[in-house]
Amino acid sequence: MMNYEIIYNYLKENLEDKRFIHTMGVVSTAKKLANLYGVDEKRAEIAALCHDICKNLSNEELLEIFKNNNIELSISEKNTQTLWHSIAAPIVAKEKFNINDEEILGAMRWHTTGKLSMTKLEKIIYIADMIEPSRRFDGVEEIREAVLKDLDSGVLIGVNHTIRYLLDRGNLIDENTIAFRNGLILNL
């Protein structure tokens, strides 16, 4: 696929080695999960490839992108710089690589916090980001196994893990993270 190679080369050039390896891990995990859960593998591949496309940008550059595209950040987003690369990702993917598939763009946009009512593809990118082979944290194996049995149950364990991590550090918890978790619980 033409687009794939162009994006791959851009990332290889622009992301740090560790981030590039992480991205390729997300690609392979997302493809596996897509096949398991009947999601189009090619779309999962592109979304995974692009999810951290803005990870090399400085906070100043990210703020500039928001300004130029009239993106209004919520109070929690304004104060959580680690979320900014995901907010900018769909804008850059559209501009640079002409990606217009709303679900692919959504998967990139929400890969950090999640949100209420995610599609299967969006959930797959969210959780693949967390469990790809180079990720190592206590509990990752439990999430890997759970996701293979049931997507939503596995994703819920992942969100719970993230919320616990944020609580332990006294970080802000974004409204979308909470809405994502509530929605998963109500649907299970």
Interface positions with ligand DGI (CB under 6 A):
22, 52, 55, 80, 82-83, 86, 111-113, 129, 162, 166, 171-174, 177
Residue closer to Fe ion (CB basis): 2 or 33: 33
Using CB under 5 A as the binding rule, the residues of this chain from 111 to 130 that contact Fe ion are 129
Q: List the Cα angle 55/144/77 in 5-degree steps.
A: 35
Closer to Fe ion by CB, 53 or 146: give it: 53
Angle, vertex CA 72, rays to CA 166 and CA 89, nearest 5? 70
Q: Are 130 and 112 in contact (CB under 8 A)?
A: no
The count of chain residues that interact with Fe ion, using the rule CB under 5 A, is 2
Shortest gap between Cβ of 28 and Fe ion (angstroms)?
13
DSSP state of 71: P
CB of 169 to ligand DGI, least distance (A): 8
Q: Residue 2 has what DSSP assignment?
A: H
Binding partner of 166, given ligand DGI, Fe ion, none, CB within 5-8 angstroms per partner class: ligand DGI
Cα gap 58→129, rounded to integer Å: 21
